[in-house]
Chain A
Amino acid sequence: MSYIIDRRLNGKNKSTVNRQRFLRRYRQHIKEAVADSVNRRSITDMDRGEQISIPTRNTHEPVITHGPGGKQHRVFPGNKEFNTGDELEKPESGGGGSGSGQASDQGEGEDDFSFYITKDEFLNYLFDDLALPNMIKKTLSQSKDFKTRRAGFVSEGTPNNLSVVRSLRNAHARRIGMTVGKRKKLKELKQELAALEPAENDGRPDVVTLMEQIDTLEKKLKSVPFLDDLDLRYRSQVKVPTPSSKAVMFCLMDVSGSMTQDIKDIAKRFYILLYLFLQKNYEHIELVFIRHHTSAKEVDEQDFFYSRETGGTIVSSALKLMKEIIDDRYTSSEWNIYAAQASDGDNWDDDSPLCAQLLEKQILPQVQYFSYIEITPNQHQALWESYSGLQKTFPHHFAMAQIRQPGDIYPVFRDLFAKDRYQEAV
């Protein structure tokens, strides 16, 4: 006796929990692999998962088994040329080849255990332990924006929301429902009448009564209204609060002659990280690219990273432009404003104090977070000195760090956005 059961509709992700257990257990390894891969990856290439490799010795489950050695007899198939008593050279280092027939299940040796994680998992590991600074500030509870959403149909409403199709459909159903008995009766009476084969002006009493009854019924049927108040349906609209899920990210970069393409690449990676980070937390993000040498200019992404400029450096020009753009387009109650400034630290001598002042007085009060990275293998430059004071005054809104080489990007980024550093209560 057999039962055949179709199980295909049952859940197919029975292993999800076990998979997560595995990922949790090897969290540290995976995080290291992810950090590695961020530095290796090209910038436009953050939108995919990653193959993670963990050395097998770490994932190995130990069991008691025989090791190599001792006196062993082994039987193999496929003899071609051997005869009893033949002696065979042992292979060097005893590994590989056909000699290790018994160890087939451990043949992987020192290979890595590798598997794939998805894009989301990749980003989660990447931004693990990072919290957006001051995110709480603009959460749902304080939202003042509403947007209307469709929420089905209701029986009361304003004429402009009337749903014609729904109303007529209701009317039709009601008419059918209300007349079903009468129409049935009418049909019967008509059949009866037909059975009597009435002639023109038939005077037979039963014919007359029947005709009268038919007449009344037809009148009653006609009196059922085509459209009733009951039938009307209106589209319902409800107001839902929208979280302030908009962020704008300002990328400020020095493109003066002293900035080489290498330095720009490093800066670019930093921006990428910031962008991905924001992307995970906000629905909508706008990017503003401001590049500057002696004067600042808003440009598109391509120009920002790849056009060549030469000349001196006046950082304050960029800050002024940023302030203008904020006032112009991003009033700070709606927008979460983030800014990242990258520079090699060069600045016109007299300009640095002005920059610090601009930030302190005008920009920092409006932004969620302003980060400054100085990309230089050398000593700190003038701008760094001026900014140092800000870090103390605005510990939750301003951070700065130095990047010496590409490998520093991720650690510095993590450091700038580390969770405990910005655990500012509401």
Chain B
Amino acid sequence: MSHPQPDTGRQYLSTDSEWTFELLEVYDREIARIAELYRLDTYPNQIEIISAEQMMDAYSSVGMPIGYNHWSYGKQFLHTQKNYQRGQMGLAYEIVINSNPCIAYLMEENTMPMQALVIAHACYGHNSFFKGNYLFRTWTDASSIIDYLLFAKHYVRQCEERYGVEEVEQVLDACHALQNYGVDRYRRPKPISAAEEKMRQKEREDILQQQVNDLWRTLPASPKEEQKKRSKRKFPSEPQENILYFLEKNAPLLAPWQRELIRIVRKISQYFYPQRQTQVMNEGWATFWHYTLLNHLYDDGKITDGFMMEFLTSHTNVVYQPGYDSPYYSGINPYALGFNMFQDIKRICENPTDEDREWFPDMAGKDWLDTLHFAMRNFKDESFIQQFLSPKMIRDFHLFSIFDDDEKDHYRVEAIHNESGYRTIREMLARQYDLSVREPNIQITSVDIEGDRSLTLRHTMQNNTPLSGDIHEVMKHLHFLWGFDIHLETFQDDRLIKRQSCPDMKIPV
């Protein structure tokens, strides 16, 4: 795309590297204007200027603007603080929050070009992704999250006042250990609303307790009836993957406020669920747009060469991908992968090669902006890579796939960037981003309601991968919440190979 130079020569928005509030507004307006040309649909922006110390605070609360108090955030803070003060780590230039309005934090130390980069990246890139991507649309409710977090913070504090900090901490610790198992993967959650939560809370406490009591009714029914029931009553009727939800509703000994705490952790975990699945896309999309928008600004003659140089330096650092053998290597850089994939999609649409025509017949020669928006809206990392990773990308990144079998002494190179390897690499890379592969498959299968009330979970092994040693600690937390024995059965190809219990028991398999 080329943009006509204005006849009057260049009208720079600024020539200095210092930013001012007026300049921020000017840049934001310009970037918004261009973003609209590219049909970026965003929530309103709330741009907040903060200091480095405040940025450290924001860091430590996993990017939530308001969080309940917990020692683990303190740990995160100490860690950040130490690394920052020693100069081992720079702080991120921005943090952006999926809310409506979309909150973006800009650090005051940034120069004007950096602020412009961040505005383009966060306020128009991430923001439009939050609003457009199907996962975010399905799983999170941007308009109510801030209210909900506030509600959660107050509620946790009330509990601390009433039941003691340590009591609350114990429950939260246990919930945190299970927080990745607090999401309904296949059902759209009801939107959360702080007002409603508050209103219903009391009501819910009563009803919940009632239901739980019903499940655990101890009054003996007539013997005949009991006989009948015993054979019939299997609980839960289907395996449950949302462990926290199950505990919230069914754990026999928990007080209503403890159930509420579980609910809070669960809801927040739900909120982060899409982010965990769209890292490459989300960062790639935002990076693509800061690059495109600022280049457009440059072509319009609004920014100086110096500005552009500084911008490109930062941009290049962000999308740098060290090789596997580099000392700087720490996995595949999602910014690099995402940015290059979106660039590549644009290239395939505009200048397809014969190879592209063969691999992407639907895309070659189409309108690139339509295709890009389509990709952003309807995919997550796994399916995005599966769908759009081109042979050229694989060659550019020199990707290769290793097969690691713990029963063999050697790694085997199973595919490299050549004709026969493209499909394998694409599939393997996509799988690397599949949550259901990344996270162990653990479900609650049964509760011994008539007997010792023990809870049994089933771990279905994938690729013979065992669980990490953490599982013992997690089971202790689970035991705390459930209140009775916990059994974890590991299945390999439908064969029970291991059974662990908490508290420890020696039960032969």
Residues of A within 8 A of B45 (CB): 1-3
Option from A6, A65, A68, A99 in Cβ contact (under 8 Å) with B440: A65
Q: Are B325 and A63 in contact (CB under 8 A)?
A: no
Q: In the bound complex, how far is the Cα of B407 from the Cα of A187, in angstroms?
A: 108
Report the minimum CB–CB distance from B340 to chain A (whole Å): 11
Bound state CA distance, A115 and B69, in angstroms? 19
* Contact status A73-B401, CB under 8 Å: yes
Check B82–A4 contact: CB distance below 8 A: no
Tell me the chain A residues, 46-102 only, with Cβ under 8 Å from chain B.
59-80, 82-90, 98-99, 101-102
In the assembly, what is the distance between CA of A23 and CA of B75, in Å?
9
Return chain B residues, CB-CB under 8 Å to A23: 74
Report yes or no: B411 in contact with A87, Cβ–Cβ below 8 A.
yes
Q: Is the CB of A2 within 8 A of B47?
A: yes
Residues of B within 8 A of A310 (CB): none
Complex Cα gap A163–B259 (Å): 67
Q: Which residue of A lies closest to B85 (CB)?
A: A116
Q: Are A84 and B413 in contact (CB under 8 A)?
A: yes
The answer to whether A71 touches B406 (Cβ under 8 A) is yes
| A14 CB, min distance to chain B CBs, angstroms | 4
Residues of A within 8 A of B462 (CB): 70
Contacts of B32 in A (CB 8 A): 2
Q: Cβ of A17 < 8 Å from any Cβ of B? A: yes
**Given A78-B323, A78-B325 in contact, is the A25-B406 Cβ separation under 8 Å?**
no
Q: Which of A1-41 contact B (CB under 8 A)?
A: 1-8, 10, 12-15, 17-25
Contact B77 A1 (CB under 8 A): no
Q: Please pick, from B69, B81, B181, B432, the residue contacting A64 in the complex, using a CB distance under 8 A.
A: B181
A84 B69 Cβ-Cβ under 8 A: no
Task: Please determine whether B177 and A84 come into contact, CB atoms closer than 8 angstroms.
Answer: no
Q: Which residues does chain B contribute within 8 Å of A2, judged by CB atoms?
A: 25, 28, 32, 44-47, 123
Contact: A84 with B47, CB < 8 Å? no
Asked if residues B468 and A67 are in contact (CB atoms below 8 Å), the reply is: yes
> Out of A21, A25, A76, A102, which one reaches B399, CB within 8 Å?
A76
Is there contact, CB below 8 Å, between B417 and A74? no
Q: From residue B129, how far is it (CB to closest CB) to chain A in Å?
A: 17
Answer yes or no: A142 CB below 8 A from chain B CBs. no
Asked if A21 and B71 make an inter-chain contact with CB atoms under 8 angstroms apart, the answer reads: yes
Tell me if A73 and B331 are in contact (CB < 8 A). no
Known: A6-B49, A64-B442, A79-B399. A90 touches B470 (CB 8 A): no
Residue of A nearest to B473 (CB): A62
Verify A15–B439 contact, CB threshold 8 A.
no
Does A394 reach chain B (CB closer than 8 Å)? no
- Minimal beta-carbon separation of B499 from chain A (angstroms): 17
Query: With the chains together, A291 CA to B105 CA distance in Å?
Result: 63
Q: 0/1 per residue, A98-122, Cβ < 8 Å to B?
A: 1101101001000001111000000
Structural contact, B399 and A84, CB atoms closer than 8 A: no
User: Of B46, B48, B178, B464, which one neighbours A71 at CB under 8 angstroms?
Assistant: B464
| B45: nearest chain-A partner, CB-CB | A2
Partner of B406, one of A6, A69, A113: A69
B54 at the interface (CB under 8 A from A): yes
The answer to whether A77 touches B48 (Cβ under 8 A) is no
Most chain B beta carbons < 10 A, residue from A7, A14, A15, A78: A15
Q: In the complex, which residues of chain B have a beta carbon less than 8 angstroms from the beta carbon of A77?
A: 321-324, 332, 397-399
Smallest Cβ distance from A33 to chain B, in angstroms? Answer: 14
How many B residues are at the interface, by size bracket?
Answer: 35 or more
- Given A2-B123, A72-B465, A114-B82, decide whether A14 and B54 contact each other with a Cβ distance below 8 A: yes
Closest chain B residue, CB of each to CB of A85: B413
A69 near B466 (CB under 8 angstroms)?
Answer: yes
In contact, B75 and A84 (Cβ under 8 angstroms)? no
Q: How far is the CB of B91 from chain A (nearest CB, A)?
A: 13
Q: Is the C-beta of B192 less than 8 angstroms from some C-beta in chain A?
A: no
Note all chain A residues with C-beta closer than 8 A to B173: 61
CA distance A366 to B263 in the complex (A): 63
Query: What's the nearest-Cβ distance from chain A to residue B59, in Å?
Result: 9
Contacting residues, chain A, for B74 (C-beta < 8 A): 15, 17-23
Please judge, given known A-B contacts A6-B21, A22-B74, A64-B180, whether A75 and B332 are in contact too, CB under 8 Å.
yes
How far is it, in angstroms, between the C-alpha of A95 and the C-alpha of B25 when the chains are bound?
Answer: 51
Per-residue 0/1 for A239-273: is the Cβ within 8 Å of any B Cβ (1 yes, 0 no)? 00000000000000000000000000000000000
Cross-chain pairs A/B with CB under 8 angstroms, 30 sampled? A2-B25, A2-B47, A3-B101, A5-B49, A6-B49, A8-B49, A8-B50, A8-B51, A10-B50, A12-B54, A15-B57, A18-B61, A19-B77, A20-B74, A21-B165, A24-B71, A67-B465, A70-B464, A70-B466, A71-B405, A73-B402, A74-B402, A74-B428, A75-B432, A77-B398, A79-B399, A89-B409, A89-B410, A101-B324, A115-B81
Given known contacts A3-B44, A64-B442, what 11 new A-B pairs fall within 8 Å (CB)? Answer: A5-B47, A5-B49, A20-B74, A66-B438, A67-B468, A71-B463, A73-B428, A76-B324, A79-B417, A115-B78, A116-B82
8 smallest beta-carbon distances between A and B, as pairs: A78-B323, A70-B465, A22-B74, A18-B74, A62-B473, A67-B468, A115-B78, A76-B324
Interface, chain B (partner A; CB < 8 A): 21, 24-25, 28, 32, 44-51, 53-54, 56-57, 60-61, 69-75, 77-79, 81-82, 85, 101, 105, 108, 123, 165, 169, 173, 176-181, 321-326, 329-332, 397-406, 409-418, 420-421, 425, 428-429, 431-432, 438-440, 442, 461-471, 473-474, 477
**Which A positions have Cβ atoms within 8 angstroms of B?**
1-8, 10, 12-15, 17-25, 59-80, 82-90, 98-99, 101-102, 104, 107, 113-116
